[in-house]
Amino acid sequence: QKEVEQNSGPLSVPEGAIASLNCTYSDRGSQSFFWYRQYSGKSPELIMSIYSNGDKEDGRFTAQLNKASQYVSLLIRDSQPSDSATYLCAVNTGRRALTFGSGTRLQVQP
Amino acid sequence: DAGVIQSPRHEVTEMGQEVTLRCKPISGHNSLFWYRQTMMRGLELLIYFNNNVPIDDSGMPEDRFSAKMPNASFSTLKIQPSEPRDSAVYFCASSLGQGSTEAFFGQGTRLTVV
């Protein structure tokens, strides 16, 4: 079992819709969780961090964490074509560096 | 803030040659990470430094790879001798603290070994 799992996609949504990206992790000791966005040919860019159960909102982005289910998600409201990218989930146990999922490719159709 | 700075941005080298990648972390950050990204394996941690000391090098593929951090503002990743399978994008990232804090990535070095 991979430490951090994501559906590779592509996830295709129409412009203006909500995109829902999901991630599961295997280490129950994980303490911090991050979402990175990576455009083709570019480096990963941090967009959200979440440390406790529940929701965290930042503009059009909402991160959701459920430690009991070992599940973290990212919702993108009012999706725009500029949101088309690969979204990487990253998890940290507190003692190690970030472990990344393989990423979900999001395509927002105009 | 200039962010994490990596050089070179692109490197093409012949098999068997030595390759050195360089990284300057964000000023004040005391953790530095080297990652490698390929289509097949995604983003893999190679080595992680905290306060210039290597903490976890379990991701370094083999003895051909070595990394150093002689001071808080500079790190190198060296491959000697290079092989075609080392072709990848190598990222350096830095963060404020050990472990849980947010990490910020440099622009990466695209390495091609022919």
- Measured between CB atoms, does B33 come within 8 Å of chain A? yes
- Could you tell me which residues come within 8 angstroms of residue B91 by beta carbon, excluding any fewer than 6 positions away? A43, A44, B6, B34, B35, B36, B37, B43, B105, B106, B108, B109
> Quick one: pLDDT at residue A94?
66
Nearest CA to CA, how far is A100 from chain B (Å)?
6
Dihedral angle computed from the Cα positions of residues B57, B61, A9 and A92, in that order, rounded to the nearest 10 degrees: -10
- Measured between CB atoms, does B58 come within 8 Å of chain A? no
Q: Which residues of B3-17 are buried (b: 16+ CB within 10 A; e: fewer)?
A: ebebeeeebebeeee
Cβ neighbourhood burial of A61 (10 Å; 0-12, 13-18, 19+): middle
> Quick one: pLDDT at residue B61?
87
Give the percent of chain A with pLDDT over 90.
87
Preceding peptide of A14 cis, ω within 30°:
no
Nearest CA to CA, how far is A16 from chain B (Å)?
29
> Quick one: pLDDT at residue B86?
97
Is residue B105 over pLDDT 80? Answer: yes
Is residue A1 over pLDDT 70? Answer: no
> Quick one: pLDDT at residue A44?
98
CA angle A19, A2, B55 (to 5 degrees): 110
Contacts of A97 in chain B (CB under 8 A): 31, 33, 45, 48, 56, 99, 103
- Model confidence pLDDT, tens digit, residues B20-74: 999 999 999 999 999 999 999 999 999 999 999 999 998 998 899 999 999 999 9
